[in-house]
Amino acid sequence: MRILGIDPGIATIGFGALESEKNSHKLINCGVITTPAHTSLSSRLEQIYDDMMQLLDLFKPDAVSIEELFFNTNITTGISVAHGRGVILLACRKAGVKVYEYTPLQVKQAVVGYGRAEKRQVMDMVKRLCELPAPPKPDDAADAVALALCHARSATSLLYRGDQEECSTI
């Protein structure tokens, strides 16, 4: 399964493309989409959309894994990120790619095994699971790879049943 992990934002959007089969994970590529500061919101959103469409065309993922929004202390930043996230969701919809959303706690649980893990623990497990010499840089790209790993590990769970609407009985 090919998964594109996305760490949403407005100035910097992390991406990580991963090929995953059972317990084997191969990082294809990772990096960031950046939009210039002091540019109108609509211009930044257009650039995010165009770059996302390129990523979706380049990697042809089976699924996109994206972080759910949570508002911490700065609601203004959260609103900007929500705009960017909406454009990313639209690009995925237009490309016909299924989107899976995960909270930071779910990502930490899936990657590290502990929902309250520290960032350095997540980065270390990303490095180990993808058999990399060092964690991906910058942090936004590493977070995106962690999101892809989260979906890879969740999708192989006994409880995961694809697109079924109802709960399965095990």
pLDDT in the model for residue 1: 96
pLDDT of 157 reads 62
Please list the ranges in the chain whose pLDDT falls under 50.
158, 161, 164-170
Does 143 fall in a domain?
A: yes
89 within a domain of the structure (yes/no): yes
Q: Which residues are designated catalytic?
A: 7, 67, 140
Q: With beta carbons less than 8 A apart as the criterion, state whether 67 and 7 touch.
A: yes
- The total domain count for the chain is 1
pLDDT of 71 reads: 61
- Residue at 165 is within a domain: no
Q: What's the 3-state SS for 68-106?
A: CCCCCCCHHHHHHHHHHHHHHHHHHHHHCCEEEEECHHH
Q: Which helix (H) or strand (E) holds 37?
A: none
**How confident is the model at residue 80, as a pLDDT?**
85
The verdict on residue 101 lying in a domain is yes
Judge whether 35 lies within some domain: yes
pLDDT at 124: 97
Residue 152 CB-density burial (10 A; 0-12 exposed, 13-18 middle, 19+ buried): buried
Residue 22: predicted pLDDT = 85
- CATH (domain of 138): 3.30.420.10
- The residue segments making up the domain with residue 24 are 2-155
Task: Kindly state whether residue 167 falls inside one of the protein's structural domains.
Answer: no
For residue 167, what pLDDT is reported?
38
Question: Tokens 């995953």, residue?
Answer: 20
